[in-house]
């Protein structure tokens, strides 16, 4: 059984294939956290908690003169403000007009088959015939009718545990929430490092490994999105943990808005981590019998290194988070016209690109920004989702029909969360935009944010999507969002705090996404927020792929893809071959290298195909044929990082291996050149040791390629690259 309650020891033990998680109800009814680590038995691990008289550690009143018990150093399952614990908290709340303080005690439990769901929020789900179990533990405040239900989803075979909390007020007085984290977790020792993924627009998810020191290490976003600057995924690990060895715990928050992850090293060198909605400006009022549901967090622990953690998280997200039918379908290899034309295009120009796309063997043409309203630059038109037929020279249906006749599918870009002041929508409904009364608005990309906390805005978005998708045979939409959310104010609910409006905005966004996914299940949706500004597990519940970054330079994408791979499936990484010199940094890289880098994810092109040379057209055809031939490997293979672009300056290498070891690829991009170079060697991973593989006409055992490795070809030019695919042979030739 994945969840076991020992009524004598009063312990809850959660078992996955490789890990064990345990809690204990102590004599005072406090729910203590006793163990999370490598798989072990159901012993009561509370013996690891050592009572002692530590100075300046407060005691609950029922302990009288016993100074050996204090919640200031005891590990707890859901820490709260006001019970003598001075470390970071999961929950801070109080009844209206009273000092915020809680003292939660155990009030019951329930174990059930299947996976819980969260109303209006993304959550992991059980696959068909997959054994998943749910544990609910009820905690009640010692003094008031405040209840917290802790939810645990145990995916035994997938090696993940999900967590969420529901806070309920049963008092006649309103309860004011000031902080409501999805979880807290205490590690007594062994977690010395914190890995996070910071960045900026066009430079997202840069790998950052920090040694944890006394005090609080925090990452987060207060931008209304998960953001380019930080990402709601982090790893706690040992100081000696590597790709292949050592303990590590991955933590991902299923939320697309402002978030916070904190790790505190306390006075006795234990580590507490909390994660959830960012508490800056957050305030949520619960009236009698109302509930607040936190977003879900997912945890995974392994003692087999960062690579094993990556593959566990990637597999679980692919199979138990992404719902789109496209996760199991071959994604179209597409061309997007944005870097080819920007706003300067006509229907005739688009058809020329489509003709070349058909010639090369692509599957889809995507029309990006500028097709609607009065939109010839980024200063007008957002919100007016009607086709500019004068610009296209025809109706959208006529354009799409001509593209379809060439054998191509058609996709289109939208940014429905935003509005331009120079638009019919804003002139008709200025109150739908979030601005602070009496002040000039703060703009981003010269646009304002629509108030998705309002019912009429949500319904307008749904109707706009329905109207667009009814115009023509549209197979794909790229959903963009091009500014951080500031000046948060809802004219429909001026009494709400900014934090409440921010969260209601995300709930509104999820409602619209749920509507589209349910109404148009065959539609391929690609998420985007200026590239990777909303690349999070919450969005993956609704979309199977996300535009990884607006930076299409192959060399900078090496670092972006590397960081992204730790927490997200590579099949979700939308990556395109673009023109050189690159539009973001001016770098020139070989066409082959651009293709190899883009094949790490959902593959495509973002350039004017009509301007390619005959040699580039030949290479593009070969790239498309190669990608299609090995698509199953890139889509479903296990991903291995073989060298880090942050540590290895000569090359970056990665590999895909089919789970059964039958097929594998190895890709290398050279990032530095040397005179009189030494031979470069790389070791494969994930192969079957006693299987035989053929590489460059020679046979090798999997053991030889993994232990001895292979010698890489000498680079021929700056930013050269190499890719090889090997398959398991039936038997070895002698």
Active site residues: 536, 616
State the Cα–Cα distance between residues 667 and 723, nearest whole angstrom.
4
Residue ranges in 303-450 assigned as alpha helix (H):
305-320, 338-341, 347-360, 389-392, 396-405, 424-428
Neighbouring CB atoms inside 10 A of 690's CB total 9
Q: How far is CA 585 from the centre of its chain?
A: 26
**Which residues does 455 contact at the CB level (< 8 Å), separation at least 6?**
none
What b/e readout covers 522-560, taking b as 16+ CB neighbours within 10 angstroms? ebbbbbbbbbbbbbbbbbbbbbbbbbbbbbbbbbbbbbb
Residue tagged 């802790």 (tokens)? 150
State the Cα–Cα distance between residues 576 and 705, nearest whole angstrom.
30
Query: Which region holds residue 339: left if phi is over 0, alpha if psi is between -120 and 50, else beta?
Result: alpha
Neighbouring CB atoms inside 10 A of 68's CB total 12
At 613, list the tokens.
Answer: 């040379």
State the Cα–Cα distance between residues 549 and 204, nearest whole angstrom.
7
Strands of 502-572, DSSP E: 524-527, 545-547
State the Cα–Cα distance between residues 656 and 462, nearest whole angstrom.
39
- For 627, 631, 650, 688, the CA distances from 664, given in Å and listed in that order, are 13, 12, 23, 11
State the Cα–Cα distance between residues 90 and 128, nearest whole angstrom.
34
Handedness of CA 615, 616, 618, 622 (dihedral sign): positive
State the Cα–Cα distance between residues 109 and 135, nearest whole angstrom.
7
State the Cα–Cα distance between residues 390 and 380, nearest whole angstrom.
16
Say if CB 186 and CB 531 are below 8 A apart. no
Say if CB 568 and CB 527 are below 8 A apart. no
Query: Residue 507 in 3-state DSSP?
Result: helix
Residue tagged 């290895």 (tokens)? 648
- Residue 686 φ then ψ, to 5°: 80, 5
Neighbouring CB atoms inside 10 A of 33's CB total 24
* DSSP conformation class of 325: G
Q: At what angle do helices 347-360 and 614-629 cross, to 10 degrees?
A: 60
Say if CB 542 and CB 510 are below 8 A apart. yes
Q: What is the DSSP string of 143-205?
A: SSSEEEEEEEEEETTTTEEEEEEEEEE-SSS-EEEEEEEEEEEEE-SS--EEEEEEEETTEEE
* Three-state secondary structure readout of 107-141: EEEEEEECCCCCCCCCCCCCCCCCCEEEEEEEEEE
At 285, list the tokens.
Answer: 């009022």
Closest CA to 259 of 293, 233, 291, 298: 233
State the Cα–Cα distance between residues 501 and 506, nearest whole angstrom.
9
Query: Residue 517 in 3-state DSSP?
Result: helix
Closest CA to 684 of 633, 630, 724, 628: 724
State the Cα–Cα distance between residues 626 and 723, nearest whole angstrom.
11
State the Cα–Cα distance between residues 56 and 62, nearest whole angstrom.
18
Closest CA to 716 of 677, 682, 686, 690: 677
Taking 3-state DSSP, the helix, strand and coil percentages for the chain, each rounded to the nearest 5, stand at 20, 30, 45
């Amino acid at each position: 059984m994945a969840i076991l309650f020992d009524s004598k020891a009063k312990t809850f033990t959660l078992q996955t294939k490789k890990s064990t998680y345990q809690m204990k109800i102590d004599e005072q009814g406090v729910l203590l956290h006793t163990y999370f680590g490598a798989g072990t038995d159901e012993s009561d691990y509370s013996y690891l908690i050592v009572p002692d008289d530590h100075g300046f550690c407060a005691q609950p009143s029922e302990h009288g003169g016993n100074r050996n018990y204090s919640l200031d150093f005891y590990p707890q399952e859901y820490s709260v403000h006001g019970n003598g614990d001075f470390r970071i908290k999961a929950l801070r709340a109080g009844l209206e007009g009273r000092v915020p303080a809680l003292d939660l005690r155990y009030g019951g439990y329930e174990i059930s088959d299947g996976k819980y769901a969260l109303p209006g929020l993304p959550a992991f789900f059980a696959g068909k015939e997959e054994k998943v179990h749910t544990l609910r533990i009820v905690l009640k405040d010692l003094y008031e009718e405040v209840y917290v239900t802790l939810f645990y989803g145990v995916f035994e075979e997938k090696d993940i545990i999900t967590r969420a909390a529901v806070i309920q007020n049963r008092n006649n007085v309103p309860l004011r929430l000031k902080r409501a984290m999805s979880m807290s977790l205490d590690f007594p020792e062994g977690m010395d490092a914190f890995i996070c993924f910071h960045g900026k627009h066009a430079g997202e998810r840069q790998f950052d490994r920090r040694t944890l020191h006394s005090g609080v290490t925090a990452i987060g976003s207060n931008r209304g999105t998960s953001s380019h600057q930080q990402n709601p995924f982090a790893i706690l690990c040992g100081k000696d943990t590597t790709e292949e060895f050592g303990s590590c715990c991955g933590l991902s928050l299923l939320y697309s808005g402002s978030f916070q992850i904190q790790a505190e090293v306390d006075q006795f060198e234990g580590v507490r981590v909390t994660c959830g909605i960012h508490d800056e400006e957050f305030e949520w009022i619960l009236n009698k019998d109302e509930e607040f549901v936190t977003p879900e967090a997912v945890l995974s622990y392994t003692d087999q290194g960062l690579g094993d953690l990556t593959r566990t998280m990637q597999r679980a997200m692919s199979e138990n988070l992404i719902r789109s039918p496209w996760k199991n379908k071959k994604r179209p290899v597409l061309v997007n016209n944005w870097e080819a034309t920007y706003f300067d295009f006509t229907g005739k120009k688009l058809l020329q690109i489509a003709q070349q796309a058909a010639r090369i063997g692509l599957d889809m043409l995507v029309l990006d920004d500028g097709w609607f309203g009065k939109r010839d630059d980024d200063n007008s038109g957002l919100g007016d989702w009607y086709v500019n037929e004068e610009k296209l020279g025809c109706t959208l249906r006529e354009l799409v029909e001509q593209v379809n006749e060439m054998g191509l599918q058609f996709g289109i870009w939208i940014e429905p969360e935003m509005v331009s002041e120079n638009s019919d929508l804003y002139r008709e409904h200025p109150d739908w935009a979030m601005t602070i009364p009496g002040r000039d608005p703060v703009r981003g990309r010269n646009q304002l944010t629509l108030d998705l906390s309002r019912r009429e805005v949500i319904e307008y978005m749904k109707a706009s999507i329905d109207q667009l998708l009814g115009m023509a045979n549209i197979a794909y939409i790229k959903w963009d969002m091009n500014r951080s959310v500031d000046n948060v104010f809802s004219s429909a609910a001026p009494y709400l705090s900014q934090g409440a409006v921010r969260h209601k905005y995300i709930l509104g966004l999820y409602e619209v996404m749920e509507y589209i996914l349910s109404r148009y299940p065959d539609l391929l949706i690609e998420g985007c927020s200026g590239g990777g500004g909303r690349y999070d597990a919450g969005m993956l519940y609704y979309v199977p792929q996300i535009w990884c970054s607006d930076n299409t330079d192959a060399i900078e994408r090496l670092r972006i893809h590397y960081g992204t791979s730790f927490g997200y499936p590579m099949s979700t990484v939308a990556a395109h071959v673009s023109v050189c010199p690159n539009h973001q940094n001016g770098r020139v890289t070989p066409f082959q290298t651009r293709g190899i880098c883009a094949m790490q994810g959902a593959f495509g092109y973002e350039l004017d195909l009509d301007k390619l040379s005959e040699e580039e057209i030949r290479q593009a055809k070969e790239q498309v044929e190669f990608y299609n031939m090995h698509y199953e490997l890139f889509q479903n293979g296990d991903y291995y990082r073989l060298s880090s672009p942050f540590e290895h300056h000569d090359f970056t290498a990665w590999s895909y291996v089919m789970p059964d070891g039958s097929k594998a690829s190895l890709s290398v991009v050279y990032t530095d050149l040397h005179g009189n170079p030494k031979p470069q060697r790389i070791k494969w991973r994930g192969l079957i040791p006693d299987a035989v593989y053929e590489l460059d006409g020679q046979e090798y055992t999997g053991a030889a390629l993994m232990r001895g490795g292979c010698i890489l070809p000498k680079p021929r030019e700056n930013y050269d690259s190499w890719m090889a695919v090997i398959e398991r042979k039936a038997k070895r030739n002698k």
